[in-house]
Amino acid sequence: MTFPKNYPYSPPDFRFERPIWHPNVYPDGRLCISILHSPGEDVMSGEAAGERWSPVQRVESVLISVLSLLDDAETSSPANVDAGVQLRKDPEGYREKVRQDTAKSKEDIPEGFEMPTHESIFKKEEPKHDDFSWSDSEAEADFGSESDEEMFDDDESEDAEGGEEEEEDEDDDEPQDNRRK
């Protein structure tokens, strides 16, 4: 995949270095796919403008589209007419040709190369041993300090004073009621 100087306003170019047998791959390895066609309306192509390149596309969306096309070829307007005809008329012969191309392409893999798997792309982190616990922190010093006890003592004395006032008010009410009777 190569990117033009005015990317993302123009689509990247995508080409298989080793051409593959596929209805949507030209004999020189270029790929025929709507998402890589220049933006705008093209009446002759039959593609809607929304199917073509736009600056909001990302490399990821291009690669997903390429994989999807490789899996499900568009045979109505093939770039490789012979591959398209063979896929329609002789699907088993087509698959055999694809298997042969795949075997040849393996010759291009450098010696010692290890093909990544889904699991291998994620770096497995070793569990970290954390010797720190909350009991090692200074937070323990916050509990049971004298200032906390003083705070509670202040609350209790305020409640006690408030309670005494209420009791006194009740006592004051009774004698007044007694006097009225």
Residues catalogued as catalytic: 32
Most distant CA pair in the chain: distance in Å? Answer: 119
* Residue position matching structure tokens 């999807």: 68
Contact 33, 77 (CB under 8 A): no
Instruction: Take residue 102 and report the two structure tokens written for it.
Output: 């795949």
Chain CA centroid to CA 74, Å = 29
Instruction: Take residue 111 and report the two structure tokens written for it.
Output: 């010696």
* Residue position matching structure tokens 């008010």: 169
Distances (CA, A) of 32 to 9, 14, 20, 22, 157: 19, 9, 13, 10, 86
